[in-house]
Amino acid sequence: MDDPRPWSDRRLHLVGIGGAGMSGYATVAAQLGAAVSGSDRAPGPGLDRLRAIGIDARAGHDPVNVPAGDDVEVVLSSAIAPDNPEVEAARGRGLRVVGRAVLLGELTGLRRTIAVAGAHGKTTTASMVAHVLLGCGRRPGYLIGGELRTTGRGADWGDDPWLVVEADESDRSMLSLHVETAVVTNVELDHHATYASLGELRAAFAALLASPAHAIVLDRPELLALRGDREVLAYEADGVELEPGGSRMRWRGIDVRLGVPGLHNARNAVAALEAARIAGVEPEAGAAAIASFAGAGRRFERLGTTAGGALVIDDYAHHPTEVAATIAAARTLGPRRLVAAFQPHLYSRTRQLAGAFGRALAGADLACVLDVYPARERAVDFPGVDGRLVAAAVVDAAPGREVLWLPGFAEAERVLAGRLHGDDLLLVLGAGNVRELGERLVVR
């Protein structure tokens, strides 16, 4: 946006304000002094939290939501369609309308920025960086696509020179950021509507890594090559010992203990510790701080237990690699039986990756497949694509294993409530609203 005016003179209206990323941008813009308003398609706790800090956040999209005046800047979530009534009204009034990447790019230009990118692990790794800095007495800015349990918020401007953000490849917004330290956790094709091939995706990550002063990249030849001939810090988690609900390892000669499970989180922790070290944290202090990291919202988050005594854990996993990693992490807790209730996210992703989802879900003792959460896509554009593709793929991957096709929450709740017992563990997996199913099953 590069607006020369002070933030206190600016008026921003965010369409799609309820999502974790957009609500974070709204929060930080308000902290900087801007007058902020916005809307989302339905009521929800995200809007409630924004209203609590004085932001005019409304449910439903309507032209009347856009504030009067010709100086309003309208910022769009990547999920907002061009024919959204507020977008059409803003354009009709001649207002400036930009994507969220423009606002985030401006915010990253105000601080020394650590940007975490990758198909998986962005939210957790960025949360770990912010947690370590906070645990070492710093007050970093952070913009995270989930709640940082350390503070109960997903965003804060802080007063530290450093800002921690997620760099999202889904809409190429990561290429709009001003980055001093880039972290790349992995590169896998996940957004088939944006990238025609893995090669095209890798080219985007190469562009991200071209300019930062520091690059922290998972130690894989194909990933390190994306940095070209510039200096790169290759990382890996070495000597990891997995424990129930956590792990321990050595990093730079220091013992590190983690309270979040899985090898993938050990790798995330090493990346986060390296980023914090570059930001001025002493390694020993960083290792001590990360031991108390309890996770990020919707990342292996315990919701409670069912009436039958089964533990329910919610996770945002929506790619086969993430599903497999979350199931493996759940195994470290030693459940009698591991049940996975998976909600596919996006018809395009389901069509492309159904087979891989089936193989990943075969790692559970019982897989329950829900119907696709469409997000910004329409079923009519993807004939023949629904959750049954994934259910059939699980059967193919694990012949003879029981697989349940439970398209709606009401049916899924009824069936699972009768099947879950003590010492079972239920994972509710997906980037849509599948958490609601977990919450229905939990006894308050």
Alpha-carbon distance 127 to 80, whole Å? 26
Judge if 145 and 210 occupy the same domain. yes
**160 domain residue, yes or no:** yes
Q: Which of 77, 99, 121 is the last residue of a domain?
A: 99
Residue in 350, 432, 352 with CA at minimum distance from that of residue 391: 350
Place of tokens 């459940």: 335
Q: Which residues are catalytic?
A: 122-123, 166
**91 domain residue, yes or no:** yes
Judge if 260 and 361 occupy the same domain. no
Q: Which of 45, 77, 99 is the last residue of a domain?
A: 99
pLDDT tens digit at each of 444 positions of the chain? 567 789 999 999 999 998 878 999 999 999 999 999 999 988 888 899 999 999 999 999 999 999 999 999 999 998 898 899 999 999 999 999 999 999 999 999 999 999 999 999 999 999 999 999 999 999 999 999 888 999 999 999 999 999 999 999 988 999 999 999 999 999 998 888 889 999 999 999 999 999 999 999 999 999 999 999 999 999 999 999 999 999 999 999 999 999 999 999 999 999 999 999 999 999 999 999 999 999 888 888 999 999 999 999 999 999 999 999 999 999 999 999 999 999 999 999 999 999 999 999 999 999 999 999 998 899 999 999 999 999 999 999 999 889 999 999 999 999 999 999 999 999 999 999 999 999 999 996
**Number of compact structural domains in the chain:** 3
**2 domain residue, yes or no:** no
**130 domain residue, yes or no:** yes
Judge if 117 and 266 occupy the same domain. yes
At residue 296, the pLDDT reads: 83
**295 domain residue, yes or no:** no
Judge if 94 and 117 occupy the same domain. no
Judge if 307 and 280 occupy the same domain. no
Judge if 268 and 196 occupy the same domain. yes
**202 domain residue, yes or no:** yes
Phi-psi region of 304 (alpha: psi -120 to 50; beta: other; left: phi over 0): left
**350 domain residue, yes or no:** yes
At residue 2, the pLDDT reads: 63
Alpha-carbon distance 385 to 59, whole Å? 30
Contacts of 139 (CB under 8 A, 6+ apart): 156, 158, 159, 160
Residue 268's CATH number: 3.40.1190.10
Domain extent at residue 192: 109-290
Judge if 308 and 282 occupy the same domain. no
Q: Which of 290, 319, 341 is the last residue of a domain?
A: 290
At residue 46, the pLDDT reads: 87
